[in-house]
A and B are shown apart, each in its own frame.
Chain A
Amino acid sequence: MSDKIVSIAEGVEGLFIENNRFNTTSISYNFYLPMREETAALNALLPFVLTSCGKDYPDFSALTLKLYKLYGATIDASVEKYGDCQLLSMRISCINDRFTFDSDSLVKSASDMLLGLIFEPNVENGAFLEDDLQREKRKAIEHIKGEIAEKRIYAKNRIIGEMFKGEAYGIPKCGTVEQVEAITGETLYAAWQNMLKKAFVRVQVIGEALPHKFFEGVAERFEGIERSGITDCRLCKPTAPANKVNTVFEKMDVKQGKLVMGFSSEMYGDDDISLPLMVMCDIFGGAPYSRLFTNVREKMSLCYYCAASAIRYKGLLLVDSGVEWQNADKAANEILNQLEIMQKGEFSDFEFESSIKSISDTLTGYYDSQSGIDMWYALKVHNNELYSPEDILQKIKAITREDVIYAAKGVKLHTIYKLLPKEGPIC
């Protein structure tokens, strides 16, 4: 473990990243819990309820007014899949004290505010209050129902559901409408208690200075909580190769079709193992110099986008494109052809070097984004070491063409998903 990590309580880590280039300080609380069918919706609702009101702020308007007075401090909540875990994050960010006219303790006030919201919610008799619950449930249900509006995201979620049926990774990150509807004040309270007792927790501060006795304050909150059965945030079953390629069609009243191809990768796992897959994916379909962009888009003029993305930890690679349904098979064949070229090592030195340069440039740029650094470390808890962007950059520079070819050879087609217009072919 890095000497930068502070142990706050059992399974609770603190991390302060000093960075004096920003005008703001950012504090995030990241809770990692296993992704399970029965708890996905409950856990996903928690950060939104917790950051909308609290003991000191009876409703969200009072809370927002306080944030406005704290010079536009911002609070936000998010839910992400992280391997086979669910990552619940709550963050506050505020301008540094030196920019205020009347306060020398703005950062401290903001930090106390978020801590209070997480540990002292609006609860009575072992249940969240009905008004708060119904409001956030309604928003969560509308969010889930609204996902169909953006077809590119919808199509990618659909293929993941198909590829990982019955597995933790196939569960929608916010649960289903029915699961949200079933939540009560009591079940949410139990989920909150479970989060405080069992989640692996990473508290991160990025800014000029750590607020006075910050980690001690967090430790005090955890003192009365019995921490046991802590989540192993390395939970992650690799993507199993398909015995037979599965093809899934769906019809909708749309003008443009969507094609998504899901692949399993034999290379998977943490940053000590899977970085060549990052480079492979980038050469294959990551940037304008990539095989997919230059061939499927530029040479064949089949689409506006055709891009590859890899979830290395899971050993999953996706290619997605927006195409006319008549061209979907042509595009799919060319995507597979380009994969074969990657596997045979027939990509050029220029493409390989461009990719290393592009990834290196992006990694160096991470230090210029506060939210980027926060996200970076929150998504790196599975590594044995606390790798910085600079550490990964050094590893990237050591990757060879052979490493990339090896990564490509392990990539196997698993599932094809096609979203087709109604006037398209009969499936």
Chain B
Amino acid sequence: MLKQVFESDFGESYVKCEHESGLQIYILEKPLYNSAYALFGTRYGSIDNVFSVNGEKTQVPEGIAHFLEHKLFESEDGDAFTRYAATGAYANAFTSFDKTCYLFKCSTRFYDNLEILLDFVQSPYFTAATVQKEQGIIGQEIRMYDDSPGWRVMFNMLLAMYKNHPVRIDIAGTTESIAEIDDKLLYKCYETFYNPQNMFLCIAGNVDTDKVLKMVDEAIKPKEKVELCRIMPEEPDEVVKPYVQQALEVVIPLFCFGYKEKTEKPLSLKKRICTSVLLDMIIGDASPLYKKLVNEGLINDEFSFEYFNGPGYASVIFEGESQNPQRVADEIKAEVARLKEEGLNKKLFNAVRSNFYGNAIRNYNSIESIAMDLVDCAMSGHDLFDEIKYLKAITVEDVFKRLTVLDNDKTVLSVIVPKEK
């Protein structure tokens, strides 16, 4: 097994390995901790609906990656939750746009839990009856999100921003699309994406790296290599429509305001960090714009922003509650235009950078955060300690360059308004 050790200058180190099956393994030991957190994942998410294997093209129903995640917990002789119940671990799983991860957290019997994790994710068992049962449960999950204004405001924005890219579709799919799923389709997707070549194992906490690697070596079942190609539709630079609105049971309107960025290649970590620093300078808690919007009663503590990006999509998103979402969007656009004209404030840049550095150090308190950051490394190929390295190295000019991605002609404002009584 190819093994690399990475050391930081702030007392942390981790190991990266590539198993002969192609599985990537990342482990950061925290010997002073009681617990450990492990994620076993695949580069397979809700956007992977059209793909080809060894040249043969397949299209599958929306929401199938998430459906598969639910079903993988079941096996012929019981489910994985029952096995975890015998050890006391906390176990869960999640599906996002570009990945599916199975995880556990425990403070005792780590290796027993790892054995369960590696085993059940590699042991699919789907039947027509169990698929039908899950349609009821996931149907209720979808209904729950239909009533969630925070969820709807985001997906309405993505629908108005992306014409073709599958990021516009709800991760769980729809009640209609999941009705098309059957056991055969699940096996097809499983065989395509749950190949160790396409998977990773990320662990942080009180574990022994050598012992983990030995276990993995014995448990991982190598599979034949396949030529997997994800097929993404052509996406225009323009947004579909600049404004979208839905009425739900809320009292204060919710908004989600996004800038669409043209993207072809995966974004580098440095660019992502520069964009995050830029956003904090535009509208973070210490910025002049944030002060103005709060003092004028336009936003409250629910306000947040993020750089949302993945394979074939990137957008800057501002969201929150406001009595006047249009004004908030207009103020952001005006500030972007002003900063393009006048440049960025160097003193604020230094303060924001100091804030980011402190947050990055703080992140190493949490084994969950570390393990999720290792997943990010596995997905994009960077080194875990690059974040702090770049934070020390970036300049205000680097950050200013990212301002150019904010195009005031490529924005979407999504609003949830109260129902009329």
Q: Do A and B come from one complex?
A: yes
Chain A residues with a Cβ under 8 A of chain B: 20-24, 59-61, 64-65, 67-73, 93-95, 99, 131, 135, 138-139, 142-143, 145-146, 148-151, 252-256, 287-289, 297-298, 301-305, 322-324, 350-351, 353-354, 357-362, 364-365, 367-370
Instruction: Tell me if A68 and B354 are in contact (CB < 8 A).
Output: yes
Cβ 8 A contact of B249, one of A22, A99, A148: A148
Nearest 3 CB-CB pairings of A with B: A72-B358, A357-B88, A71-B358
Known interface pairs A71-B361, A72-B359; A361-B366 also in contact (CB < 8 Å): no
Instruction: Tell me if A24 and B254 are in contact (CB < 8 A).
Output: no
Give A150 to B107 CA distance when docked, in angstroms.
33
Known interface pairs A72-B355, A297-B137; A99-B10 also in contact (CB < 8 Å): yes
Tell me, rounded to whole Å, the shortest Cβ–Cβ distance linking A418 to chain B.
15
Known interface pairs A68-B351, A68-B354; A135-B294 also in contact (CB < 8 Å): yes
B148 is an interface residue with CB less than 8 A from chain A: yes
Give A287 to B105 CA distance when docked, in angstroms.
14
Tell me, rounded to whole Å, the shortest Cβ–Cβ distance linking B180 to chain A.
18
B150 is an interface residue with CB less than 8 A from chain A: yes
Known interface pairs A138-B297, A149-B149, A304-B137; A368-B290 also in contact (CB < 8 Å): no
Give A73 to B359 CA distance when docked, in angstroms.
8
Cβ 8 A contact of B250, one of A24, A99, A149: A149
Instruction: Tell me if A256 and B143 are in contact (CB < 8 A).
Output: yes
- 8 of the cross-chain contacts (CB-CB < 8 Å) are A21-B30, A59-B291, A68-B354, A149-B149, A301-B137, A354-B86, A359-B88, A365-B106
On chain A, the residues within 8 Å of B88 by CB distance are 354, 357-361
Instruction: Tell me if B352 and A23 are in contact (CB < 8 A).
Output: no
Tell me, rounded to whole Å, the shortest Cβ–Cβ distance linking B273 to chain A.
14
Known interface pairs A71-B361, A364-B35; A323-B140 also in contact (CB < 8 Å): yes
Tell me, rounded to whole Å, the shortest Cβ–Cβ distance linking A110 to chain B.
11
Give A142 to B108 CA distance when docked, in angstroms.
44
On chain A, the residues within 8 Å of B252 by CB distance are 142, 145-146, 149
Q: Considering the complex, give the chain A residue whose CB is closest to the CB of B138.
A: A304
Tell me, rounded to whole Å, the shortest Cβ–Cβ distance linking B37 to chain A.
9
Instruction: Tell me if B285 and A64 are in contact (CB < 8 A).
Output: yes
Tell me, rounded to whole Å, the shortest Cβ–Cβ distance linking A387 to chain B.
17
Instruction: Tell me if A322 and B144 are in contact (CB < 8 A).
Output: yes
Known interface pairs A68-B351, A143-B301, A255-B146; A369-B140 also in contact (CB < 8 Å): no
| Chain B window 82-98, contacts with chain A (Cβ cutoff 8 Å), 1 for yes, 0 for no | 10111111110000000
Instruction: Tell me if B251 and A60 are in contact (CB < 8 A).
Output: no
Give A359 to B85 CA distance when docked, in angstroms.
11
**Knowing that A24-B362, A64-B284 are A-B contacts, what are 10 other residue pairs whose CB atoms are under 8 Å apart, sorted by A's residue number?**
A61-B287, A95-B358, A138-B297, A142-B321, A143-B300, A146-B252, A149-B149, A253-B249, A301-B136, A365-B105
Cβ 8 A contact of A358, one of B90, B290, B365: B90
B357 is an interface residue with CB less than 8 A from chain A: yes
On chain B, the residues within 8 Å of A255 by CB distance are 143, 146-147
